[in-house]
Amino acid sequence: MSLNSDIAIVGGGLIGPVLALACAKAGLKCVVVDAQSMDTRANAKFDGRAYALALASRRMLNALGIWQHVAEYAQNMNDIKVTDGRQGDGAAFLGLHFSSDEIEDGPMGSMLEDRYLRRTMMQMIDRHPDITHLSGTRVVAQTITAQGASLTLDDGSVVTTTLIVGADGRQSSTAARAGITRMGWDYKQTALVCAIAHEAPHNGIAHQFFMPSGPLAILPLPGNRSSIVWTEQHNLANAIHRLPDNDYLQVLRPRFGDFLGAIELCGPRHVYPLNLTIARSFTGPRVALAGDAAHGVHPIAGQGLNAGLRDVAALSEVLITAHQHGEDIASPAVLSRYAQWRSFDTAALATATDLFNRLFSNDNALLRMGRDLGMGLVNALPSARRTAIREAAGLNGDLPKLMQ
Amino acid sequence: MATTVDPSEIAKFEAMAAEWWDSEGKFKPLHMMNPVRLSYITQQICAEFNRILDSEAPFSGLRILDIGCGGGLLCEPMARLGATVVGVDAAERNIPVAMAHAAQSGLTIDYRHTTAEALVAAGETFDVILNMEVVEHVADPLAYLTACRQLLKPGGLHLCSTINRNPKSFVMAIVGAEYVMRWLPKGTHDWSKFITPDELFKLMTQAGLEPVDRKGYQFNPVTWGWRISDRDLSVNYVTASLAPMSAA
Ligand SMILES: Cc1cc2nc3c(=O)[nH]c(=O)nc-3n(C[C@H](O)[C@H](O)[C@H](O)COP(=O)(O)OP(=O)(O)OC[C@H]3O[C@@H](n4cnc5c(N)ncnc54)[C@H](O)[C@@H]3O)c2cc1C
C-alpha cells in the first residue's frame, strides 16, 4: 500500500490530531499514524488525567469545532489560589490569589478530562475527508529527498508526503531519525495523579500548594470532584503509590487540610516520573516537531498541552499561509518561520517552570521568606498580577490567529 | 526555448541554485521579504481574476511573466498555484540555475534569457506581469514600462515594486543594506535612479497603464520581518496597475 499526503503526522495523541484538523481546514491532505490501536485510544476509561486548558487553548479548540463536542464535560476555572504550605500547617500561609474577574475575557481556563478530548478528536479525524487515520501501525523509518519525504510503517507500507511532523511524544523517534538531539534533566520527582470526590463544593477554584517536597495541585472537575497532581521524590512517591487506597488518602489529607470536607478516591491512581526534555531544534530537513516531541515540560504549571496547542496554532498558520502562497511548505525558509515563532516562548516556559519548581521545592527558610515576600509583592502590584493572570490564561505573546 | 545544457555544468548550476534558495545565505534579504511579496501578489491576482486561494490550483489558466526572475523565488510559487509561468532574466547565468531548481522541485517553468522588449517583438502576451525590483535598474523607465504594457493582455495586471527616493531610503537601502548589513553587494543600487511613488504612477500613466493600488513594505526590527503598510511607502513599495480593456 502507498499513500500520498501533504503532511504526514507521526503520533495520534492529542497534538497530532489537532494539527491535522487545523491544516485540513485549509485543504491540506494529512495522514495521522499512531502505534496504538483505535480502541486503546478512543475508549479509555477515566485515567485520572485532566487538563487545565488556558483560555487561548479553548478559543483554538472552539475555532476548530472541537470545543463544541466537549464543552458539556468541562469545568470552568474561575480562580487560581497559590499557597505556600508546610506539611502539617495546611493552607495557612500568605496566598497568591488570581481571579478571572481581573481579566475581561471570562473564566481563566477550563478543566477537561483527557478521555473526552481524546475520544472527540479520534472521531473527528476519522470522519474528515482530507485526513487519513492509520491506527495500530508504528512508523519505523523516514526518508528525505529534495522533492519530498516518506514514512515506512511496520506493515511495510509507505506514506509519501511533502512534510513530516513529529507529534510522537517525549521520546520522539521522528526527532531521533532526523538527527535532532534533546537536552533536559530528571527532576528526581514523580507525580502522583488521581481524582477525588469531596464533600464540599470547589466553587471552580483551582489550588496550587507549594510543599517542601514539591507542588500539589487541586483542580476542579465537574460535580464535587477534583483532579490531584501531587509531586514527591521518586522513592517516596513510589512507596506512596504502592499503599492501599485508604493509607494513600491518609498521606494525602494532611497535605491540603480539610477545606473540601471528607474526600475519597474516584478512579484509578497513576504515577508519572517527571523530567524535562526539549529538542535542540524544532525543525530539520522536511521535518517539524510539535507538542511533547518538541518540549516535554514539567506539568507543574499545567502548561504541557497548552504549549503543544500553541505549537499547532503557529505551525498550522505558517503552513497554510505558505501553501496559499505557492511555497514549498517544507522548505527551510518556511520551517524557520515556525521555529523562530516558537523558540522564545519555549525557552521562557522551560526556564520559568524549572525556576518555579526549584524555588518552591526547597525548605530553606530564607528561600521561603523570599518567595512569600515575592508572592505578597505580586499580590500588591496590580499590573504584575494582571500579567501573571494573562500569562496563565495564555493571552500574552505574539498570538497565532487561531488563538485570538 | 530549448537550452541545451552541458551535463558537466549541471552540478555547478545545482550548487548555484542551492545558493539562491538558501534562506540563510547570500539572498537572505529576498527570502525575508518573500512572504510579504507573495502575500501582496496572491491577493492582487485573486482580486483581479476572481480566484480563491483555498481552491485547488487557483491560478490555473493564467499566463504569468516574471521579469528579473533570478533563481525562481517567485516563479516556483506561481507555478505551484497552477499558473503557466515564463521567467526571464537579463543575466544569462541565472537561467540554467533556475531551470535546475525547478527540475528538482518537479515544476515546469519556461525560463529564458531575454528582455521585455524582445518579448514584445515576438508578440507574446500575459495576464499578469511581476516586475519586482527591476525598474530602478533600467536605463529608460518609460520605454521599459511601455514594453510591459504591450506585453499585457487587455485588462491584464502589472505588479511593480521598487525603492523610494528620499534621505531615509538612501540610509536604509544603500548605507544599511549594502554597507552595514552587507545584505547586498556594494554598488547594487544607484540612489539617483530610485523613483518616488508619485513619479512611478506618472510614468505608468504615460506608458498607458492605469495605476490602481500602492502599498509599502515596512521592516520591523523587533520581529525582524517585513509587513505590508497602507501608509509607509518611504523605502520599499509595491504597486498594481492595469492595462486598458481594449488594446490602446
Ligand atoms: C501527570 C500529567 C499531568 C498533566 N497535566 C496537564 C495539564 O493540566 N495541562 C496541560 O496542558 N498538560 C498537562 N500534561 C501534559 C500533556 O499530557 C501533554 O503535554 C500532551 O498530552 C502531549 O501530547 P502529544 O500529542 O504531544 O504527545 P503524546 O500524548 O505522548 O502522544 C504521542 C503519540 O505518538 C504515538 N507514537 C509514538 N511513537 C510512534 C511511532 N514510532 N509510530 C507511531 N506512533 C507513535 C504514541 O502512541 C502516542 O499516542 C500533563 C502530563 C502529565 C504526565
Q: Domain for residue B95, yes or no?
A: yes
Check residues A396 and A240 and name the one with the higher pLDDT: A240
* Disruptive mutation site among B80, B104, B226 for chain A (greatest number of A CBs within 10 Å): B80
Check residues A396 and A210 and name the one with the higher pLDDT: A210
Q: Domain for residue B16, yes or no?
A: yes
Task: Compute the nearest-CA separation of B104 from chain A (Å).
Answer: 6
Q: Domain for residue B248, yes or no?
A: no
Mean pLDDT throughout A72-98?
66
Q: Domain for residue B226, yes or no?
A: yes
Q: Give dist(CA A373, CA B172) in Å, integer.
A: 49
pLDDT tens readout for residues B14-43: 777 788 888 888 888 888 889 999 999 999
The Å distance, Cα A304 to ligand 1 centre, comes to 8
User: Can you give chain B as a three-state secondary structure string?
Assistant: CCCCCCHHHHHHHHHHHHHHCCCCCCCHHHHHHHHHHHHHHHHHHHHHHCCCCCCCCCCCCCEEEEECCCCCCCHHHHHHCCCEEEEECCCCCHHHHHHHHHHHHCCCCEEECCCHHHHHHCCCCEEEEEEECCHHHCCCHHHHHHHHHHHEEEEEEEEEEEECCCHHHHHHHHHHHHHHCCCCCCCCCCHHHCCCHHHHHHHHHHCCCEEEEEEEEEEECCCCEEEEECCCCCCEEEEEEECCCCCC
Q: Domain for residue B247, yes or no?
A: no
Residue A380 has pLDDT above 50, yes or no: no
Q: Domain for residue B185, yes or no?
A: yes
Hey, are the CB atoms on A326 and B56 less than 8 Å from each other? no
Residues making up chain A, counted from first to last: 404
Q: How many CA atoms lie within 13 A of B146 on its CB side?
A: 8
Q: Domain for residue B21, yes or no?
A: yes
Report the pLDDT value the prediction gives residue A356, as an integer from 0 to 100.
54
- CB A138 near ligand 1, within 6 Å: yes
Mean pLDDT throughout A369-391?
49
Residue linked to cell 477537561: A112
Instruction: Give the amino acid at A297.
Output: V
Q: What is the pLDDT of chain B when averaged over all its residues? A: 88
pLDDT tens readout for residues A226-270: 999 888 889 999 999 999 999 999 998 888 778 899 999 988 888
pLDDT tens readout for residues A269-288: 888 888 888 898 999 999 99
Domain with B238 in it: 7-242
pLDDT tens readout for residues B76-130: 999 999 999 999 998 888 999 999 999 999 999 999 999 999 999 999 999 999 9
Q: Give dist(CA B138, CA B120) in Å, integer.
A: 17
Mean pLDDT throughout A384-393?
55
**B contacts of A27 (beta carbons < 8 Å):** 54-56
**B contacts of A26 (beta carbons < 8 Å):** 54
Report the pLDDT value the prediction gives residue B2, as an integer from 0 to 100.
36
- The answer to ipTM > 0.90 is no
Looking at residue B102, which CATH number applies to its domain? 3.40.50.150
Q: Which strands, in side-by-side order, build the sheet including A163-166?
A: A131-135, A30-34, A7-10, A163-166, A287-289, A283-284
Give A139-203 as a DSSP string.
Answer: EEEEEE-SS-EEEEETTS-EEEESEEEE---TT-HHHHHTT--EEEEEEEEEEEEEEEEESS--T
Q: Contact at 8 Å (CB) between A201 and A221?
A: no
Q: Which helix (H) or strand (E) holds A84?
A: strand A79-84
pLDDT tens readout for residues A109-146: 889 998 899 999 999 999 999 999 999 999 999 999 87
pLDDT tens readout for residues A21-63: 999 999 999 999 999 998 888 776 666 678 888 888 999 999 9
Check residues A181 and A257 and name the one with the higher pLDDT: A181
Q: Does B76 touch chain A (CB under 8 A)?
A: yes
- CB A229 near ligand 1, within 6 Å: yes
Domains of chain A, each with CATH number or no CATH:
2-44+114-183+275-360 (3.50.50.60)
Q: Domain for residue B69, yes or no?
A: yes
* Structure confidence at residue A398 as a pLDDT band (50, 70, 90): low
Mean pLDDT throughout A371-377?
46
- CB A36 near ligand 1, within 6 Å: yes
Lowest mean pLDDT among A12-21, A364-373, B69-78: A364-373
Domain count for chain B, please give it: 1
